[in-house]
Amino acid sequence: MAERAIKLDVRDLTIRYDELTALEGVTLDIREHEIFGIIGPSNAGKTSFLKAINRMDMFNPQMSVQGHISFNGLDTRKVRNVYGLRRRIGVVFPLPVGLPLSVYDNVALAPRLAGQNNRAELDVIVERCLRRAALWDEVKDRLDSLGSLLSGGQQQRLTIARALSQEPELLMLDEFSIAVDPVTTMRIEEVLKELKQEITIILVTNLVQQARRLADRTAFFLDGKCLDIAPTEDLFTGEVSDERTRHYVEGRFG
Amino acid sequence: MFETTELNKKNRRNERLVRAVLGTMTGLLVLPVVLILSMLIYKGGPVISFEFLFTSPTNGMTAGGIFPALLGTVLLVVVALLASVPLGVAAAIYLSEYAPDNWTTRAINLAIINLAGVPSIVHALFGVGAFVIFFKFGTSILAASLTLAIMTLPVVIVATRESLQAVPLAFREACWNMGATRWQTIHRVVLPNAITGILTGVILEVSRTAGETAPIMFTGAAFFLPLLPQGVLDQTMALSLHLFVVATQVPGMPERLPYGVALVLISMVLLMNSMSIALRMYLRGKKKW
């Protein structure tokens, strides 16, 4: 099996919030077309990791990021067009966020920001993204209704539809299934498996079994350090370098 | 199992007592407003008519109407809002969405708070010095309105800032993560959802501005003008000043006239406040998240 191209190359990443070190010395790479899982207990630094990748630390003056991250070979810390970088990376948060715009406008927002104003083409994009997010059937007759008034599970799928509308090269999901029921979670997991063929996915999850179902390789974060990275099955069959990984996976803590 | 004990009885009695006391005090609040309004309607009501509102004063202001004063107040308020609202909203957007938390920002906020506390007579003198004399507008609608604008600025800024901050951060973060700039996020998501709140604050401020006397007295309002103002550099009459004049400065004034003027002024205030309250209730009903 040929080595796939490296999408994201992280070297010696250290993230601090004022005096608190959230992440230290993380080095890893993420390959194209893989689902890269990140598991670990809360406060392990997983969310900070994602924030550093798309330069959201820009909005938090207390956050300092050191180390090297390159996306498609470009140093993300030095890239001039930060907004362009963010447009190519889609993010889904744990808590559903339906913007107080119509469902249609929610999904059309990213294309419009990118300059797409043709109504017919926007219609196509909106339908495609809502279908992929497994939300189309439920909202197709009320695209005018407010996105912020949908149910939690629907809003989460709307968030995914918005992320997909960016046509991202990298999709980062941060514990997306927290506010979502198991059936919807399953539907979204199916979508992710299909999407893998087109884009690269980082899946941060505290549902260890979800990582097992979806991720090609998985990293284990604990207390700000990346303790293990391995093909997912190895992680779960116990062939790991650090004992704590095995304990976490077995459910002994977390 | 749930028998009433002595302690229960005492608590329930205290509850009823407190409720009665607080309710009575709230009721007392309404009393002054009701009394004032009743007095004004009783004494001034008969004076109000179409002629009263739309014709000019005659006979040394002891008869006739108050149209020039009414028009003048409307003009002054409109021009003042044209100056203070864009500036205030822009400042509030900057302070709420862009300004970093440093000493400069804190100094600006302090300046705004202090501006809000300046007595209106000081605003009046400032207006004379700055607009009438220094900028050479002379006593004019422009000078008076700008003086009023500076008085209303802090309120507009605070109302706007609160409306902006009522929009959850999560919405902004969702947009930023998509690659939107701050401004794109503001004008597509934040501002449209803050507009009604801003309007509520501005309308409330209109009623206050309409009643101010000192700031306009030396900067652009006059006791009596034979002609209506033709442009912003003209002087004008104004309702608040007119009330002061007819109530205290004119000999031989029929008793009803000042009450009539006061009734018109307070009706304007009540109308504006009702609009603001109605808008706020509409806002609350139309929950968007």
How far apart are the C-alpha atoms of B238 and A156, rounded to whole Å?
Answer: 57
Closest to B149 (Cα-Cα) out of B248, B77, B229:
B77
Q: SS3 breakdown of chain B: % helix, strand, coil, rounded to 5?
A: 75, 0, 25
Query: CA of B189: which chain A residue's CA is closest?
Result: A100
pLDDT tens string A10-63 = 999 999 999 999 999 999 999 999 999 999 998 889 999 999 999 999 999 999
List Cβ neighbours of A137 (8 Å cut-off, separation of 6 or more). none
A179 touches chain B (CB under 8 A): no
Residues of A with CB below 8 A from B175's CB? Answer: 99, 109
Range list of H helices, B55-168: 67-93, 103-116, 120-127, 141-165
Please, are residues B194 and B163 in contact by the beta-carbon 8 Å criterion?
Answer: yes
Query: CA of A83: which chain B residue's CA is closest?
Result: B179
How far apart are the C-alpha atoms of B80 and B91, rounded to whole Å?
Answer: 16
Point out the least confidently predicted range of A171-180, A243-252, B255-264: A243-252
Q: Centre a 10 Å sphere on the Cβ of residue B55 and count the other Cβ atoms it contains.
A: 15
DSSP conformation class of A133: T
Report the pLDDT averaged over residues B43-63: 86
Query: CA of A163: which chain B residue's CA is closest?
Result: B178
Report the pLDDT averaged over residues B42-67: 86
User: Is the pLDDT score of A2 beyond 60?
Assistant: no
How far apart are the C-alpha atoms of A244 and B45, rounded to whole Å?
Answer: 85
How far apart are the C-alpha atoms of B180 and A101, rounded to whole Å?
Answer: 15
pTM value is 0.87
Share of chain A above pLDDT 90, in %: 78
User: Is the pLDDT score of B104 beyond 60?
Assistant: yes
User: Is the pLDDT score of A250 beyond 70?
Assistant: yes
pLDDT attached to residue A249? 86
How far apart are the C-alpha atoms of B200 and B280, rounded to whole Å?
Answer: 6
How far apart are the C-alpha atoms of A242 and B253, rounded to whole Å?
Answer: 97
CA end-to-end span of chain A, whole Å?
Answer: 35
- What is the dihedral sign for C-alpha B7, B13, B18, B23? positive
pLDDT attached to residue B58? 84
pLDDT attached to residue A254? 63
User: Is the pLDDT score of A219 beyond 60?
Assistant: yes
Closest to A53 (Cα-Cα) out of A169, A149, A162, A161:
A169
CB-closest option in B177, B180, B181 to A56: B177
Closest to B170 (Cα-Cα) out of A92, A89, A129, A53:
A92
Residues of B with CB below 8 A from A101's CB? Answer: 188-189
How far apart are the C-alpha atoms of A218 and A229, rounded to whole Å?
Answer: 6
H or E element, residue A68 = strand A63-71
Place of tokens 């998509």: B178
Please, are residues B176 and A86 in contact by the beta-carbon 8 Å criterion?
Answer: yes
How far apart are the C-alpha atoms of B124 and B177, rounded to whole Å?
Answer: 48
Query: What three-state secondary structure class fits B251?
Result: coil
CB-closest option in A59, A100, A162 to B289: A100
Higher pLDDT, B61 or B80: B80
- Domain B50-286 in CATH: superfamily? MetI-like (1.10.3720.10)
List Cβ neighbours of B34 (8 Å cut-off, separation of 6 or more). none
pLDDT class of B250 with cuts at 50, 70, 90: confident
User: Is the pLDDT score of B78 beyond 70?
Assistant: yes
User: How many CA within 13 A on the CB side of residue B6?
Assistant: 0
Best interface-test mutation with A: which of B102, B171, B178, B187 has the largest number of A CBs within 10 A? B178
Separation in Å, CA B19 to CA A96, A121, B7, B23, B27: 42, 62, 18, 6, 12
Closest to A130 (Cα-Cα) out of A140, A145, A115:
A140
What residues does each domain of chain B span?
Answer: 6-47, 50-286
Separation in Å, CA B276 to CA A126, B2, B22, B218, B280: 38, 48, 26, 30, 6
> What are the residues facing A226 on neighbouring strands?
A221
Which amino acid, one-letter code, is at B288? K
H or E element, residue A165 = helix A152-165
User: Is the pLDDT score of B71 beyond 50?
Assistant: yes
pLDDT class of A143 with cuts at 50, 70, 90: very high
How far apart are the C-alpha atoms of B46 and B239, rounded to whole Å?
Answer: 19
Residues of A with CB below 8 A from B184's CB? Answer: 113
> Inter-chain contact A100–B188, Cβ cutoff 8 Å?
no
> What are the residues facing A89 on neighbouring strands?
A170
Place of tokens 């997912």: A232
> Inter-chain contact B179–A95, Cβ cutoff 8 Å?
no
Average pLDDT, chain B: 92
Share of chain A above pLDDT 70, in %: 99
Q: Residue B109 CA to chain centroid, in angstroms?
A: 21
Higher pLDDT, B127 or B284: B127
Residues of A with CB below 8 A from B170's CB? Answer: 93, 95, 97
What's the complex ipTM?
0.93
Output b/e per residue, B157-179; b: 16+ Cβ within 10 A. bbbbbebbeebeeebbbbbbbbb
List Cβ neighbours of B242 (8 Å cut-off, separation of 6 or more). B66, B69, B261
Mutual angle of helices A103-113 and A152-165, in 10-degree steps: 20
pLDDT class of A1 with cuts at 50, 70, 90: very low
Contacts of the segment A48-51: beta carbons below 8 A, 24+ positions apart: A48/A15, A48/A17, A48/A22, A48/A23, A49/A13, A49/A15, A49/A23, A49/A204, A49/A221, A50/A91, A50/A172, A50/A174, A50/A202, A50/A204, A51/A15
Q: What's the length of chain A?
A: 254
User: Is the pLDDT score of A164 beyond 90?
Assistant: yes
- What is the dihedral sign for C-alpha B131, B135, B139, B141? negative
